[in-house]
Structure 1
Amino acid sequence: MASARLIGVDGADAWQELLSAATSLRHELHRRPELGWSEHLTAGRIRDELDSIGVSWRACATTGTVARLAPDAPGRHVALRGDIDAMPIDEDSGAVWTSQHEGVMHACGHDGHTAVLLAAARWLAQHEEALPGPVSLLFQPAEEGGHGAKGMIDDGALEGVDVVFGWHNWPALGRGRMACPDGPVMSANGTFAVEVTGVGGHASQPESTRDPVLAAAAITIALQQLVARRLSPQTAAVVAVTWIDAPSNDTVTPATARLGGSIRVPDTTLRDEIFTMIAEVAESTARAYATTATTTTTTRYAATVNHADPAFELREALAPELAAAFGGNDPTPDIAVPVMASEDFSYYLAEVPGAFALVGAGDPHPCHSAHYDFNDELIAPVVRAYARLAGAPVLPAGTTDGEAQQ
């Protein structure tokens, strides 16, 4: 395990400059969000910043970037990841730096993750000769459902890497707390769609129709009972019907109706079992209404499962920084883990040892909300933690921004 060396407050001026630049960059990225696999402006800004601080990089998975420091150092090779894509949401955060791209916003904080990784790049570049081993910085596209991590891996992002670390801001966690367990930290997910086929006709003659809308409504209600009655009470799972579509008009019973949604489970095997249950419930319920149902399922991300030793190391790196930044609060999570959300960081953890942490600041608006904005207070402690993981010198954990300004 690499251990970071402390440096005195004589490096505080550089640290404060770094934090100011990271915050400004975060706001700049927030103004110019881009959807997955279309992050061309973002990729260009990342690469310009890396050029300006003298860090070598290569394009990876089109809009992704892999930067490398201390490539010839003899120690273990550490990879640090930040995702860069935004979401198709109209922003209503009220932030001065609100999105200038209509219908797109950084609703999940990837602008903050990118700013943190670039700040870490700047700090590591200033102390590159002290790094005990190579460090790869993974600026990854298309995390929001686009399997960007797989694209990065397929393009060689993990070549030579011994351990990989990542993090995600998590508004539901209290200030100064983190979730970084041994084992699952985030869930596997998948989606399903059910097409119900009946007999359409005039709404005044129900006896001549076989109503797929009624059947779809019954299927929706029945699916909500899967978790309560087909799984044990100790099993964490979510089955959510999130849409129903039956185009028609006021006097016409349509011939077809469709519904769909998503599932979240802590392990991949259970996902397959629930998919089977969904199909069984849909088919049998449709039959009771003299209709038929066809179910299509799609696997998305596997569970994000931490390896024990890297998880311990990530906790040890984050804990003192969060305590210093947020007043010494208890860093243990105040929410249940694994959380039901999913992450494509799971692809990395399936290839090499590593760990992923959720870091909270107690914000009122959740990720994926039009009102959400990344909390800039998280930048400093996570950059410090990344420096620790890379084995770089760091300022003492108790050094405040005020001290850094002196």
Structure 2
Amino acid sequence: MTKPWKQIINAAVGLRQDLHRIPELNWSEVQTSARIRKELTRAEISWRPIARTGTIAVLAKGASGRSIALRTDIDALPLEEETGVAWVSKTHGCMHACGHDGHTATLIAAALWLKQQEMHLPGPVTLIFQPAEEGGHGALRMIEEGSIDSVDAIYGWHNWPALPFGQAVCPDGSVMAGNGTFRITVTGKGGHASQPEMCRDPVAAASAIVLTLQQIVSRRLPPQQAVVVSVTSFVAPSAETVTPSQAVLAGNIRIADNEMRDIVNNLITQIATDTAPAWGVKADVEIFPRYGATVNDPDEAERFRQILCREFGEEWENRSIAIPVMASEDFHSRLSRHDTGRSGLHGKCLFSRGCRGANGICSPPSL
């Protein structure tokens, strides 16, 4: 049955709110996947499970034109929701704080409209509902299971509350940063605080390491490089009168250029291991790579910029936000498909669309 576009949008808003009530962490998106599959089945769109809790569907399979894919992510974050909205999360300690409920509802809306136009589609359209974007490497699992084997180009989007509704960013090259984490364990010699000369204080040494790490961005790298090094945790539990034997630092890096990853990680390791001996302690550094930078294909980005201009007008592009955004996305896995040894994917594009209304609240039409 053909539905007016406005009816599809209204249904998608309701779906987004329903999904917001039942957030699930990565690789646990059981209820979410069930709802997605129910909506696809109701629309008479064939689907199949992939990557455990993921779902994939293809429209116009027999069409001869260019094959494109539209991708969304479906998992939530381990946060307690305090918004007070009517559709607040019912799951303790879990919230759709990154907007994946809106992403998912948007792709369902697109699926419903495309299904109505299926006979007129020039080429196949693959709909990808990806689990485990939040650190779970869900994109890589879906690629390994063949989600884009027959796809020529893939598009994704991310809502961005910092941008006004009706504006977007869709640059050539890097659009979102790569990331990684690190842990530095500083081991010294504990003892009574009244006898510091008998101790080898890991707290003082770790503090020195924290301060020196700030020099990576300000003194060791060119100012033209977009890099973030943040120490986000400092743990050294002890009694007030006792110097502990160990302190553990942890933090996060962001890089706009994937080639900077090894440089930054090597500097973290060098600073920690070189600073420690001056304090009579030892530093052990662990590096945990996560996602690479999301780098748009210039041809696909230009193609989509033209679409954004037609949809939102000449003022569609927001020029006030710094690009790349230093948040991270595992869409980069799809943009790096040639690294997997597969072939055939020619284009890829991720854009960020504004969803902030005039009152500073995300606008309902943007889901």
Q: Taking structure 1 as the reference length, what is the TM-score of the superposition?
A: 0.85
Q: What is the match of residue 320 of structure 1?
A: 310
1:43 aligns with 2:33: yes
Deviations for 1:226-269, whole angstroms, at most 9, x for unmatched residues? 10000111111100000011122112111111001010011111
Task: Name which structure has the greater RCO, CA cutoff 8 Å, separation 6+.
Answer: 1
Q: What is the match of residue 350 of structure 1?
A: 336
Deviations for 1:271-292, whole angstroms, at most 9, x for unmatched residues? 1100000011111111111111
Once the two structures are superposed, the pairs formed by residues 2-401 of structure 1 within 5 Å of their partners are: 14-323=4-313, 329-351=315-337, 352-362=346-356, 375-379=363-367
Task: Give SS of 2:268's match.
Answer: helix
Task: Give SS of 1:332's match.
Answer: coil
* Shift of residue 132, structure 1, vs aligned partner: 0.5
- Distance in 2 (alpha carbons) for counterparts of 1:317 and 1:349: 20
Amino acid at match of 1:291: V
Distance 1:208 1:215, change over 3 A: same
Q: What is the root-mean-square deviation in Å for CA atoms of aligned residues?
A: 1.8
- Distance in 2 (alpha carbons) for counterparts of 1:279 and 1:373: 42
Amino acid at match of 2:334: Y
- Distance in 1 (alpha carbons) for counterparts of 2:51 and 2:153: 20
Decide whether the 8 Å contact of 1:108 with 1:374 is kept in 2. Answer: no
- Distance in 1 (alpha carbons) for counterparts of 2:2 and 2:277: 70
Task: Give SS of 1:82's match.
Answer: strand
Distance 1:42 1:171, change over 3 A: same
Task: Give SS of 2:352's match.
Answer: strand
Task: Give SS of 2:321's match.
Answer: coil
* Shift of residue 355, structure 1, vs aligned partner: 0.3
Q: Which runs of 5+ in 2 are unaligned?
A: 338-345
Deviations for 1:31-53, whole angstroms, at most 9, x for unmatched residues? 11000100000000000000000
Decide whether the 8 Å contact of 2:164 with 2:358 is kept in 1. Answer: no
Q: Which has the higher strand share?
A: 2
Decide whether the 8 Å contact of 1:143 with 1:149 is kept in 2. Answer: yes
Q: Taking structure 2 as the reference length, what is the TM-score of the superposition?
A: 0.94
Q: What is the match of residue 8 of structure 1?
A: none
Task: Give SS of 2:253's match.
Answer: strand
* Shift of residue 332, structure 1, vs aligned partner: 3.3
Decide whether the 8 Å contact of 1:174 with 1:361 is kept in 2. Answer: yes
Decide whether the 8 Å contact of 2:133 with 2:330 is kept in 1. Answer: yes
Q: What is the match of residue 3 of structure 1?
A: none
Decide whether the 8 Å contact of 1:172 with 1:364 is kept in 2. Answer: no
> Which sits farther off after the overlay, 127-136 or 169-178?
169-178
Decide whether the 8 Å contact of 2:356 with 2:362 is kept in 1. Answer: no
Decide whether the 8 Å contact of 1:242 with 1:262 is kept in 2. Answer: yes
* Shift of residue 373, structure 1, vs aligned partner: 7.7
Superposition misfits of 4+ residues, deviation over 3 angstroms: 362-365, 372-375
Decide whether the 8 Å contact of 2:104 with 2:129 is kept in 1. Answer: yes
Identity score, percent: 51
Task: Give SS of 1:45's match.
Answer: helix
- Distance in 1 (alpha carbons) for counterparts of 2:2 and 2:113: 12
* Shift of residue 204, structure 1, vs aligned partner: 1.3
Q: Which runs of 5+ in 1 are unaligned?
A: 1-10, 366-371, 380-406
Task: Give SS of 1:87's match.
Answer: coil
Amino acid at match of 2:348: G
Residue-pair matches, total: 359
Decide whether the 8 Å contact of 2:165 with 2:363 is kept in 1. Answer: no
